[in-house]
Structure 1
Amino acid sequence: MRPVPAGRQPSSDGRSVVVCGSDRTTLRVVSELVDSGERVTAIVNPDSRHFERIGELADQEIGVRVLSENVLVRAGIGATDGGRSAARALVLLDTNDVRNVHAALTARDLDPKLRIIVQMVNPRIGEQLHALLGDCVVISGPSLAAPAFVADALEEDELIWTDLGGRRLVAGPAERIKAPHLTVLADTTSSARPDLLPDSSDDPTADVVLGTSTRRQSITKDVRRAGLMIAIRDDVFDRRVRWIMAVMAAVALGGTMAIAMNTGPDVTWLHALYLALGAVTSAGIEDDLFVHADPWVKVVAVGVQLIGIVLVALLTAVVVDSLIGARLSRVIGGVRGKPRNHVVVSGLGTVGARVLELLTERGVAVVGIEKDENAPGVQTAHRLRIPVIIGDGSTEETLRSAGASRCMALLAITDGDITNLETAMVVRGLNPDAKITMRMFDHDLAQRVERRLNIGTSRSVSMLVAPAVAAAVSNRLAQATVPAGRRVLLLTEVVVEPNSVAVGRRLGELQERGQSRIMAIRKPPVGRREADWDWEPRSYAPVEPGLRIAVAATRSGLARLLLATRAPRGGTQSERMEP
């Protein structure tokens, strides 16, 4: 066993954590777990560019291209005579949801009590895993990363987003949080000494509250989708088509004058126009009308017909090219007018799709850019009626079409570091005042770019996923800190452990006015079925072992609640759960 470096706490029971994956997120998770004092067994594809580095960090590394039951057994998963595996948790980080589900089901058959943490791209599949796997934590990279990108774009420093009690919640000033509010966290009428967790508030506008969404801001109405008629005008009847049709009209007009003035009194001007148009459009010409015409008129008629043949061929080619080039996403979604004060999102993958949803919920105008018309975010944009430009987001032409020179923020969140960096540099040249945030996979590159180039901030999805995985392995939740004047409140969840002093007491007895407030509870699971969260708990409800409590508390109030809900020192450390 590799010794635990100084400053780290060793794993609670000496068992290992098995991590399966091969990308940069896997490297981040392994590093985070090792820093937490965990023993890590990594199952990695030997072709991964991170294979050697993961091997340096992990206690054991298994290099395989296909994850199978035998590989999981080699890694220590499988109940022994003692009733538990050598591994206490399994972390699945494959980018393919189907492979993750398959591996999770296989591991559950090997050890019914194993703790499983799964990264899922499709949240709808993740919601069903609890019923299948029991003790399972589903982590979604896009769901974790998207709020951070949106907060950067909108500069929402005063809003705190967190997952609590099975909900996505936001804490902040009352005027920013959509009513009805779940609870008042603080009355900051007196900024020097705010009233924390008050029973009532005389000045609601000065409150810090907890809610489920923010108020719609409606920053601008200037961004409009092109629609079908505008797209046909811009994409089908473009400048080339208009020039060709103008030449055809001029030739037809000249032909009309020549025919009417030199074919006799029986041919009216309207008939002459018909004959000229027939010649120009290659529909044919009535030769008997030109039998007695002057030779130069016959030459003009033939010339008009030849020119018409060329123009019709050009017109056909241009229209066909426009129809083929105008993809469905552009025809339906292009940008109309000159957008301004909006957010440009370059890269509409799984993270981009979630970003579009969050920005729309906040009432912010958005323009999307994506090279692949089949990307998940393109479909989301169509559903939300958000303008989308299909093209390379790192080119100046595409960015100008999206109104980057007039936008208030740019999110460059494609899957390529260089593409995102190039996009940011182009936008900085077009719009020095824009707030720019880049998605960067290479942490070292991100630091150097921020320090040297000063073109914007950067974020990494893997940097956000790794702490969440580490917290899930140890069955604890990260605490969200909500500032209130010069004081702070903590939002977290606490589990009532067996033999703790809280067992058998009433729920209301665990609360302290101004120090802690219980907002929701979830009873222990029955079999593999998780109970639903109750956001209207009764104060006289009895406290039972395994009860999970969502709480808002001061530091001292949370410390006392933890003392009441934790097992006495006689209990094993592996049984204890921290918030």
Structure 2
Amino acid sequence: MLLDQFLVCGLGSLGQHCVVALKQFEVSVIAIDKNLPQDWEFSHLPDLLDNVLVGDCRQISVLEQAKIQQCRAAIIVTSNEQVNAETALAVRKLNPKTRLIVRSSKKNLNELLSQHLGNFVAFEPTQLPAPAFALAALGTETLGLFHLQGQWLQVVKRTLSPTDRWCNNSTLYELNTHKRRILYHTSGATSLSKAFHEWEPDTRLMPGDTIVYIETIKPTSTNSKKLVRNTWYNPWHLLTTLKHLNWLTIKQQFITFLRKSDENRFKQLGIICGVIVSFLLLLGTVLYQLSYPQISLIDAFFTSMMLLLGGFGDLFGGFNFTLPVPFWLRFISLGMTITGTILVGIFYSFLTERLLAARFQLNKRRPPVPQKDHVVVVGLGRMGQGIVEILQEFNQPLVGITLNTDFDMTILPEMPLITGSLKRSLSKANLQTAKSVVVVTDDEMLNLEVSLMAYDANPESNLVIRTTGLSLSDNLAELLPNAQVLCVYAVVAEAFAGAAFGENIINLFRVDHKTILVTEYQIEAGDTLNGLLLSEVAYGYGVIPILYQKETEMPKLMPSEDISLVVGDSFAAARSADRMVVLATSDGLQRIEQGSAIATSKTWQVHITKALTEEAQFEGANVLVRISGCSLNTARTVMKNLPETLHVPLYKHQAQRLIIELAKAQVTAHLLRTDSP
């Protein structure tokens, strides 16, 4: 039986943050490091550790001293990826059950290790938080964006204006739909609450209110364009297009084609040349056939073709003609040769350019630096490149700055790029009119210098700064209060800690300095979630279920709160373990891990006064069973003896939703507060 004991290998900045994150779960933590830090980022961290070993974490003897046989998980986060991989192999040799969470950027190696070692997950700290940096740079309402089961979901923070369609018209309960879930709500200038569900369902939205919600969205315009382009390779699509082709559609397509002069310049030139050549070929063939009926149509065609390909000298180079050629026909032939030579030359150059571009993938010239409302990304390492790719998905104008003289110039060819000295590069980036400045180099002191220079150049820009040290993050936040200072290790450590408990951390994002983890659960035997309604999971543990799936069924996004979680057993093969994805803070993960639901909030009951009809009485009983989880006999008894109180303790949101649903069934009810859970 594995105890609640965890091993952290490597006590650098990331390792220390992982220790702090783990201790929030009130577990035992042992650490190994070859050389203990001279200056601890957390002065009290040695007191948090149950044991600290100085040695090489790859050695079997050191791992045995750390009692690896009793460790539930090992978080391996040294700065050397080779050491991390070797340590993972050594740990698996000693304990086949310990969960391995490894710091590594080797994607292919990570997949191979996961297959061979099992119970293995790898993260790259510089890539995991890239979406958080990119969304911070956008300065928009979008706080998070991730892909789940073939569907895009976004997290939005929205402050309502007086003209907003939700103002004075909608309640918070009405905004919770099969495509949207409310996370936070606040009125006026007050800050957002620390926990989910701290809002009243019947609250009517007013101007100045701020809400944070998650919703499903359609593919981006970029993806839609790709989809349209790909359909041209579908023969069925081509047949359908040809079937509906007529003069009107041809005219509309032609006008659209001409209007897009910039996009279709080469295509337009090629089409014009082809049309003129075809016309001259047809004209020459007709003229020679009419002038000399004794020659065949094929000979007239090839004579015209020879003239267009520059064969005037071959045809009229001598003075003895077998057939007399009129002067006007010779003049037309000369014009055909001149025109054909020019047009065929243009046509050849067009084909040559296309063939060379396709064959050698010639590097196109990078676009110019935007003049205003752009994002300046300083530092194009792995994190910087990830940020740029996300910004490009949003079609956000940007410019990249790298101070690395060995930077691969073939990377991100569609991005404006500035290289050279720091001052010169910043002066070229149009900082004064920039929308945001993202500083994500690997050098913290350089980040500090660039941030201060960017602030001096444009105090109004949205400044996003990468740090790895906690003290620098705190000091920068005080020095530049309007900047968004993101400590990379503080953000990703929560993902490492969550993964240590066997959960799959799919993604993460930030909401008002809080890290929200997108976490996947498989309901297992003895699980604290087994048998609970999703409403009890949501309100009891303070999480937001956003996906539910039975193994044999399609997944459901924004699932109903009335679904009950079950786990398969050996005697019922037809039943399978449920899968659930939730939004959770580290506090929520901790409550689920320890099975400590917020029982003090389950202090509400519903008093039912009357049902307007017998049908309402029948339907009301079904609503009671569905939302409260009580038995059908209990529900029928309550509905037959109205007025009556349903003596089932409920969470406030759960009870309020029950009253709303009863009202839809023509049953009136109201809330009752109980003294004890």
Pairwise same-fold verdict (TM > 0.5) = yes
Residues 1:552 and 1:71: Cα distance change in structure 2 (over 3 Å): closer
Structure 2: unaligned runs, 5 residues or longer: 159-165, 181-212, 224-362, 570-575, 598-677
Find the counterpart in structure 2 of residue 358 from structure 1: 390
Residues 1:70 and 1:51: Cα distance change in structure 2 (over 3 Å): farther
Q: What is the rounded CA distance, in whole Å, between the counterparts of 1:476 and 1:37 in structure 2?
A: 17
Q: Does 1:98 align with 2:98?
A: no
Find the counterpart in structure 2 of residue 126 from structure 1: 110
Which of 403, 407, 423 in structure 2 is aligned with 1:396? 423
Question: Normalization by structure 1: what TM-score?
Answer: 0.56
Residues 1:69 and 1:381: Cα distance change in structure 2 (over 3 Å): farther
Instruction: Give the CA deviation at 1:158.
Output: 4.0
Q: What is the rounded CA distance, in whole Å, between the counterparts of 1:554 and 1:66 in structure 2?
A: 32
Which of 48, 51, 67 in structure 2 is aligned with 1:76? 67
Q: What is the rounded CA distance, in whole Å, between the counterparts of 1:343 and 1:533 in structure 2?
A: 43
What is the DSSP-based 3-state SS (H/G/I as helix, E as strand, rest coil) of the residue aligned with 1:426? helix
Residue type matched to 1:109 in 2? K
- What CA deviation, in whole Å up to 9, does each residue of 1:229-261 have, x standing for no partner? xxxxxxxxxxxxxxxxxxxxxxxxxxxxxxxxx
Within 5 Å, give how 1:178-327 maps onto structure 2: 190-195=169-174, 198=177, 209-211=215-217
Find the counterpart in structure 1 of residue 52 from structure 2: 61
What is the DSSP-based 3-state SS (H/G/I as helix, E as strand, rest coil) of the residue aligned with 1:458? strand
Within 5 Å, give how 1:358-507 maps onto structure 2: 358-374=390-406, 380-382=411-413, 385-392=414-421, 395-454=422-481, 456-476=483-503, 493-498=520-525
Q: What is the rounded CA distance, in whole Å, between the counterparts of 1:164 and 1:65 in structure 2?
A: 39
Q: Does 1:36 align with 2:25?
A: yes
Instruction: Give the CA deviation at 1:19.
Output: 0.7
Q: What is the rounded CA distance, in whole Å, between the counterparts of 2:565 and 2:24 in structure 1?
A: 40
Residues 1:214 and 1:58: Cα distance change in structure 2 (over 3 Å): farther
Q: What is the rounded CA distance, in whole Å, between the counterparts of 1:131 and 1:502 in structure 2?
A: 28
Q: Does 1:21 align with 2:10?
A: yes
Find the counterpart in structure 2 of residue 345 from structure 1: 377
Residues 1:427 and 1:30: Cα distance change in structure 2 (over 3 Å): same
Instruction: Give the CA deviation at 1:14.
Output: 4.9
Instruction: Give the CA deviation at 1:212.
Output: 7.8
Find the counterpart in structure 1 of residue 154 from structure 2: 170
Q: What is the rounded CA distance, in whole Å, between the counterparts of 1:33 and 1:554 in structure 2?
A: 15
Instruction: Give the CA deviation at 1:191.
Output: 3.0
C-alpha contact 2:32 2:57 (8 A) present in aligned 1: no
Q: What is the rounded CA distance, in whole Å, between the counterparts of 1:421 and 1:73 in structure 2?
A: 42
What is the DSSP-based 3-state SS (H/G/I as helix, E as strand, rest coil) of the residue aligned with 2:372? coil
Q: What is the rounded CA distance, in whole Å, between the counterparts of 2:478 and 2:438 in structure 1?
A: 19
Residue type matched to 1:339 in 2? Q
Residues 1:533 and 1:373: Cα distance change in structure 2 (over 3 Å): farther
- What CA deviation, in whole Å up to 9, does each residue of 1:161-196 have, x standing for no partner? 46766988424499xxxxxxxxxxxx9994324435
Question: Normalization by structure 2: what TM-score?
Answer: 0.49
Which of 136, 159, 168 in structure 1 is aligned with 2:120? 136
C-alpha contact 1:160 1:170 (8 A) present in aligned 2: yes
Q: What is the rounded CA distance, in whole Å, between the counterparts of 2:17 and 2:61 in structure 1?
A: 26
What is the DSSP-based 3-state SS (H/G/I as helix, E as strand, rest coil) of the residue aligned with 2:128? helix
Q: What is the rounded CA distance, in whole Å, between the counterparts of 1:125 and 1:161 in structure 2?
A: 27
C-alpha contact 1:188 1:194 (8 A) present in aligned 2: no
Q: What is the rounded CA distance, in whole Å, between the counterparts of 2:438 and 2:509 in structure 1?
A: 26
Q: What is the rounded CA distance, in whole Å, between the counterparts of 1:59 and 1:541 in structure 2?
A: 36
How many residue pairs get matched?
394
Instruction: Give the CA deviation at 1:61.
Output: 1.6
C-alpha contact 1:520 1:550 (8 A) present in aligned 2: yes
What is the DSSP-based 3-state SS (H/G/I as helix, E as strand, rest coil) of the residue aligned with 1:191? coil
Instruction: Give the CA deviation at 1:144.
Output: 2.6
- What CA deviation, in whole Å up to 9, does each residue of 1:84-119 have, x standing for no partner? x22211001123333322221221121111111112
C-alpha contact 1:25 1:466 (8 A) present in aligned 2: yes
What is the DSSP-based 3-state SS (H/G/I as helix, E as strand, rest coil) of the residue aligned with 1:336? coil
- What CA deviation, in whole Å up to 9, does each residue of 1:202-241 have, x standing for no partner? xxxxx96224865669xxxxxxxxxxxxxxxxxxxxxxxx
Deviates more, 1:189-198 or 1:208-217: 208-217
Residues 1:200 and 1:19: Cα distance change in structure 2 (over 3 Å): closer
What is the DSSP-based 3-state SS (H/G/I as helix, E as strand, rest coil) of the residue aligned with 1:519? strand
Find the counterpart in structure 1 of residue 579 from structure 2: 549
What is the DSSP-based 3-state SS (H/G/I as helix, E as strand, rest coil) of the residue aligned with 2:549? strand
Q: What is the rounded CA distance, in whole Å, between the counterparts of 2:392 and 2:221 in structure 1?
A: 11
Residues 1:449 and 1:386: Cα distance change in structure 2 (over 3 Å): same
C-alpha contact 1:171 1:482 (8 A) present in aligned 2: no
Residues 1:426 and 1:19: Cα distance change in structure 2 (over 3 Å): same
Instruction: Give the CA deviation at 1:70.
Output: 2.8
What is the DSSP-based 3-state SS (H/G/I as helix, E as strand, rest coil) of the residue aligned with 1:118? strand
What is the DSSP-based 3-state SS (H/G/I as helix, E as strand, rest coil) of the residue aligned with 1:438? strand
What is the DSSP-based 3-state SS (H/G/I as helix, E as strand, rest coil) of the residue aligned with 1:544? coil
Q: Does 1:521 align with 2:549?
A: yes
What is the DSSP-based 3-state SS (H/G/I as helix, E as strand, rest coil) of the residue aligned with 1:448? helix
C-alpha contact 1:27 1:50 (8 A) present in aligned 2: no
- What CA deviation, in whole Å up to 9, does each residue of 1:30-87 have, x standing for no partner? 222234322221111316545796645422222225632332222222xxxxxxx222
Structure 1: unaligned runs, 5 residues or longer: 1-11, 78-84, 175-186, 202-206, 218-330, 484-488, 524-531, 568-579
What is the DSSP-based 3-state SS (H/G/I as helix, E as strand, rest coil) of the residue aligned with 1:364? coil
What is the DSSP-based 3-state SS (H/G/I as helix, E as strand, rest coil) of the residue aligned with 1:150? helix
Residue type matched to 1:151 in 2? L
User: Could you say which structure has the larger radius of gyration?
Assistant: 2
Q: Which has the higher contact order (CA 8 A, sep 6+)?
A: 1
What is the DSSP-based 3-state SS (H/G/I as helix, E as strand, rest coil) of the residue aligned with 2:129? helix
Q: Does 1:114 align with 2:98?
A: yes
- What CA deviation, in whole Å up to 9, does each residue of 1:384-432 have, x standing for no partner? x21222234xx32111122323221111111222211111111222223
Residues 1:61 and 1:495: Cα distance change in structure 2 (over 3 Å): same
Residues 1:417 and 1:481: Cα distance change in structure 2 (over 3 Å): closer
Residues 1:15 and 1:200: Cα distance change in structure 2 (over 3 Å): closer
Residue type matched to 1:550 in 2? M
Residue type matched to 2:549 in 1? I
Residue type matched to 2:441 in 1? T
Residues 1:554 and 1:457: Cα distance change in structure 2 (over 3 Å): closer
- What CA deviation, in whole Å up to 9, does each residue of 1:300-341 have, x standing for no partner? xxxxxxxxxxxxxxxxxxxxxxxxxxxxxxx97766365322
C-alpha contact 1:170 1:213 (8 A) present in aligned 2: no
Q: What is the rounded CA distance, in whole Å, between the counterparts of 1:98 and 1:143 in structure 2?
A: 19
Q: What is the rounded CA distance, in whole Å, between the counterparts of 1:47 and 1:542 in structure 2?
A: 46
- What CA deviation, in whole Å up to 9, does each residue of 1:276-296 have, x standing for no partner? xxxxxxxxxxxxxxxxxxxxx
Residues 1:47 and 1:461: Cα distance change in structure 2 (over 3 Å): same
